[in-house]
Chain A
């Protein structure tokens, strides 16, 4: 009895020992990259945020907390809140539009599934700026949408669509919808079809099957999709600039303006740092929730 246990013990311990050491050489390139392009820049941002601005940009190394106090002025706080709001609306809309899309694609035959996925990914092959300019052509006062509306007699005067917050939402939504659809599709696709059959077999209506089986089991994918959309939507500054006409300022624009227009590097650094911290927090929350979701399905 004891001899059996003795013989088994090393076999169990060995992989744990290996897990501790073997990966280090494989991690090295990634670590170097992260330190050079993530840790050091973020450290610099944190460092600069405690000093005064130079007259023509740059930093004067006199300690101050002014930048952090300035952050709470209504003007800037408002921009941050507004950015969060826009990103949330975009994420929510992406989820509402993306879920049925992903669900439909997962239900297609393998051949049409491939076609649909290629169609989803296809826009990524076109330059991001060109796609954004296309929206300007569509939405401006003499653009296609207004032309159609007028020719159909729905409106007499062109509606101002470009350079509105709604236009920013549409632009961001268009840009990031595939990032919602793909993880959702992946999680729906992985779902064992016999789970849905089992629910049906136990007397669940199609709606109950969806609500109690499909939906809960696709939540990790939905959560991943939300992060994939929320994070870039929150920090994007090109779309607010081009489609929003720079009128509705988001945090990304604010950061850019501080560095390139106002030449206030320390405050720009403070804003950038705040944005980074917020996004990291969001991702941490997401991974914690996601771990709880998948752990729940595997264990208690």
Chain B
């Protein structure tokens, strides 16, 4: 990370007619990094990926790879390979021919091509299917062929456009692990585009969260989760209780709840802000009577390793979501005391308030982040 970045995106702006797809995006991607571009559909992540590949031309800005201006190179000369969302395998060629295509385009010799194709087919575990046509393969196998075809040239940068979206859930989970393993094994830099926050969180070293063509936050998954920069990031990454109020030094005053202590922040005193409390940071106590804040359990969700409880608190529009380890003894109708542990404050200016309705489509319920998250998003003052 100390050396110059592999890829530098500097002030890239993309425009379609009247709509701006990317607003002056700048980011650096280091060599060997597993980088994710995350955001709901229409956030500009695919436009950025296609600009790097050369299928879109930004209206302004620079993209450099190893210090070379990428935008001046025609798409077929860029040292960047891409795995397409639809896989885009050539239907009239065998698996082997598909994988060899990039090497043949480069004029690599016949023997060398055969050797490298065989190597990479072994890496993805498809050696026995070399002579088949893509139409004869399952979705998971096609995905591996697409991957093999994209890595066989050992590109400086591998772009993956929603690489797992066409697979069913079980296959997807195992492919997440496999992609990560593969990235270590082949030692390439990966840039993944995804709308699935869980996918990005589990695979990436760093994540750029995009929304409406703007970069909301660029950080490690841990940092995004613990210290979201904006209300949108807080609601989009994982599940969260969003308590809107006014920020004071060390706390956010939330109507109906009172003061919520938050971690150190740099927000100006007295501005509108949101306290972000993760469900596992909500502590529940049995003696509702003596607690500063109390509520009633309205629903419990058992998830195996953990349980999620939905607690209605007087004065709050939406229930508080709490996550407890293992099984909870509490059931529907029980009164509980609620205490907030760790919380973070994020600013809530005009630009970031409108997101509640914006996290539409793509945020499909995934595990813990499912329904409780959507309900938590409804928490506003």
Q: A192-B86, A296-B92, A297-B91 are in contact. Are A201 and B133 (CB under 8 A)?
A: no
**B149–A298 touching, CB < 8 Å:** no
A208 cross-chain contacts in B, Cβ below 8 A? 105
**A203–B55 touching, CB < 8 Å:** no
B153 contacts partner chain A, Cβ-Cβ < 8 Å: yes
A200 contacts partner chain B, Cβ-Cβ < 8 Å: yes
Query: A202 contacts which of B55, B91, B105, B132 (Cβ < 8 Å)?
Result: B105
Query: A203 contacts which of B84, B85, B105, B132 (Cβ < 8 Å)?
Result: B105
Q: When chains A and B are docked, how far (Å) is the Cα of A300 from the Cα of B95? A: 11
**A203–B133 touching, CB < 8 Å:** no
**B106–A203 touching, CB < 8 Å:** yes
Most buried by B among A195, A202, A212: A202
B77 contacts partner chain A, Cβ-Cβ < 8 Å: yes
Interface residues of A in 170-224 (CB under 8 A from B): 192, 194-195, 197-206, 208-209, 212-213, 216-217
Q: A202-B102, A204-B101 are in contact. Are A300 and B92 (CB under 8 A)?
A: no
**B76–A203 touching, CB < 8 Å:** yes
A55 contacts partner chain B, Cβ-Cβ < 8 Å: no
**A195–B90 touching, CB < 8 Å:** yes
Query: B84 contacts which of A194, A205, A296, A297 (Cβ < 8 Å)?
Result: A194
Q: Describe B's contact surface by its main secondary structure.
A: loop
Number of inter-chain CB pairs below 8 Å: 78
**B75–A200 touching, CB < 8 Å:** yes
A201 cross-chain contacts in B, Cβ below 8 A? 53-54, 75-76, 78, 80-82
Q: When chains A and B are docked, how far (Å) is the Cα of A202 from the Cα of B83? A: 10
**A202–B92 touching, CB < 8 Å:** no
B92 cross-chain contacts in A, Cβ below 8 A? 216-217, 296-297
Nearest residue in A to B76 (C-beta to C-beta)? A200
Most buried by A among B75, B78, B131, B149: B75
Nearest residue in B to A197 (C-beta to C-beta)? B55
A18 contacts partner chain B, Cβ-Cβ < 8 Å: no
CB distance from A148 to the nearest CB of B (A): 43
A111 contacts partner chain B, Cβ-Cβ < 8 Å: no
Q: When chains A and B are docked, how far (Å) is the Cα of A298 from the Cα of B84? A: 19
Q: A297-B135, A298-B133, A300-B133 are in contact. Are A197 and B88 (CB under 8 A)?
A: yes
5 residue pairs from A and B, CB less than 8 Å apart: A197-B53, A202-B105, A203-B102, A208-B105, A298-B135
